[in-house]
Amino acid sequence: MGRLWWRRTPHPVAVGSPAWRGRTAYTALAVLAAGSMLPYVPVPPRGDVSYGPAKTTAAFHDIVLPDLAVIQGSGISDASLKRIRAIHGVGQFIALDGAAVTSGGTKVNVIGVNAQQFRSWTPLSTASNQKLWNGLDADGFVASTSARHRLGLHIGDAYSLTGSATVSLNFAGAAPLGVAGVDMVVSHQVSARLGLIHNFAALISAPGLSMPKLRHEVRAALHGSGATLVRLRPRHAPPMVTQSGKPTSYIQLFQESAALYCPGLPWEVLAAIGQIESGFGANTGPSTAGALGPMQFLPSTWAEWGISAFGNTGPPNINDPFDAVPSAARYLCAAGGSTAAGLPRAIFAYNHADWYVNEVLALARQYQQAYG
């Protein structure tokens, strides 16, 4: 049905407790590493960024499962980022600005992101909350659920954040962010106004690489910069949710879709197809054959097999992972994917190529080894 790549379940970035601290109104973020705090690095205001009009964030298509975080208190150099991107096996990659600033006299840890890109790295319920990301792209801010309660935030109210400058922002909402220690998220435009450390951290998704290999390659790309590497790839798959619940992680989405719509289909095969088909939803099409969405369905195939699932209402949405992944499981089941003997035939039905069958099965074995 197409070509693509994708990853494992998001896991909170363990950057310490407390993860980041600030000594003045504006200082660098510090992270807990090997039992000691990295030094604070003051950063001057940045005045080289232009600001465009607020825009509406595009609809959510992507699913990205991070494997490794890179944290550099002084910022990761452009050259290092380029070398990391060039590592064979790295599929998705995103750099984040960050710093500790103050709000109402309280230190808060803030990251600056491209909303459309970063949402794909967050838990499913957060990534699919369109209103939340529209508010962020309109120069508001999003808080973690814990920060909202701790700071007493109210949606729609304006709050001042003070870094290298003081900026007043509307609170767009709270949600799990999937990154431990982060209190607030702002757009790149706001990040520049606050003077956050540019490229303070990066998230990497590289499911085809073992963790030792990935760490080695990233260390080499950093040229001994002393950055902290944090494993995000979970060592075991999370438990399945109940049939009445909605998956809260990507692996749970694969698990539950296989269990509900094709009992006997290994969820790892469903995950492998997702990875190979759209690259975490990075290539949602249309493909040269006209395939669309994170699971790359042809519209004619979708018309027959597409379903609304996990509480979604309305017509099946080819671009919604909550519909697309269960629909793929349903399609595979009809082609024989519920049995070991029929599985290769079902995968071939999904994409008529022997190399595709071999690639899916090989990648599925990698998932099984990672979560065994």
Last residue within a domain, chosen from 170, 200, 231:
231
Residue 244 lies in a domain: no
Give CA separation, 90 vs 79, 217, 283, in Å.
Answer: 16, 10, 15
Query: Looking at the structure, do residues 161 and 285 belong to the same domain, yes or no?
Result: no
Kindly give, in sequence order, each residue whose CB lies less than 8 Å from that of residue 57, ignoring residues fewer than 6 positions away.
115, 116, 119, 130, 133, 134, 136, 137
What is the DSSP code (8-state) at residue 329?
H
Residue 13 lies in a domain: no
pLDDT digits (tens, 9 = 90+) for 98-139: 999 999 889 999 999 998 889 878 876 687 788 899 999 898
Query: Looking at the structure, do residues 225 and 254 belong to the same domain, yes or no?
Result: no
Task: Kindly report whether the peptide bond that precedes residue 321 is cis, defined as omega within 30 degrees of 0.
Answer: no
Query: Looking at the structure, do residues 70 and 146 belong to the same domain, yes or no?
Result: yes
Last residue within a domain, chosen from 161, 196, 231:
231
Higher-confidence position of 136 and 40: 136
Count of the separate structural domains present in the chain: 2
* Model pTM above 0.75: no
Residue 3 lies in a domain: no
Q: Rg of the Cα trace of the chain?
A: 21
pLDDT digits (tens, 9 = 90+) for 42-92: 333 333 322 233 345 555 555 677 889 999 988 999 999 999 999 988 878
Query: Looking at the structure, do residues 67 and 196 belong to the same domain, yes or no?
Result: yes
Higher-confidence position of 319 and 278: 319
Query: What is the CATH classification number for the domain harbouring 274?
Result: 1.10.530.10
Query: Looking at the structure, do residues 198 and 280 belong to the same domain, yes or no?
Result: no
- Is residue 339 within 8 Å of 264, Cβ to Cβ? yes
The answer on pLDDT for 201 being more than 80 is yes
Percent of the chain with pLDDT over 90: 46
Give pLDDT, residue 239.
59
Phi, psi of 94 (to 5 degrees): -145, 135
Nearest Cα residue to 146 out of 122, 111, 119, 182 = 182
Give pLDDT, residue 65.
72
The answer on pLDDT for 181 being more than 70 is yes
The answer on pLDDT for 7 being more than 50 is no
State mean pLDDT over 13-35: 28
Query: Looking at the structure, do residues 294 and 212 belong to the same domain, yes or no?
Result: no
Residue 46 lies in a domain: yes
pLDDT digits (tens, 9 = 90+) for 138-155: 989 999 999 999 999 999
Residue 27 lies in a domain: no
State mean pLDDT over 13-42: 27
- Is residue 177 within 8 Å of 126, Cβ to Cβ? yes
Query: Looking at the structure, do residues 96 and 166 belong to the same domain, yes or no?
Result: yes
Residue whose entry in the numeric block shows the structure tokens 């699971």: 295
Count of residues for the chain? 372
Query: Looking at the structure, do residues 56 and 196 belong to the same domain, yes or no?
Result: yes
Q: Which helix (H) or strand (E) holds 201?
A: strand 197-205
Give pLDDT, residue 240.
57
Give pLDDT, residue 179.
77
pLDDT digits (tens, 9 = 90+) for 325-354: 999 999 999 999 999 999 999 999 998 888
pLDDT digits (tens, 9 = 90+) for 226-251: 899 998 877 666 555 555 567 877 77
pLDDT digits (tens, 9 = 90+) for 351-361: 888 888 988 89
Task: Kindly report whether the peptide bond that precedes residue 18 is cis, defined as omega within 30 degrees of 0.
Answer: yes
Residue 191 lies in a domain: yes
Residue 239 lies in a domain: no
Give pLDDT, residue 19.
31
Query: Looking at the structure, do residues 216 and 364 belong to the same domain, yes or no?
Result: no
Residue 363 lies in a domain: yes
Q: What's the chain's average pLDDT?
A: 78
Query: Looking at the structure, do residues 126 and 271 belong to the same domain, yes or no?
Result: no
The answer on pLDDT for 34 being more than 50 is no
Query: Looking at the structure, do residues 255 and 183 belong to the same domain, yes or no?
Result: no
Give pLDDT, residue 59.
57
Query: Looking at the structure, do residues 118 and 222 belong to the same domain, yes or no?
Result: yes
Give pLDDT, residue 1.
47
The answer on pLDDT for 30 being more than 90 is no
* Residue 299 belongs to domain spanning: 250-370
Give pLDDT, residue 286.
80
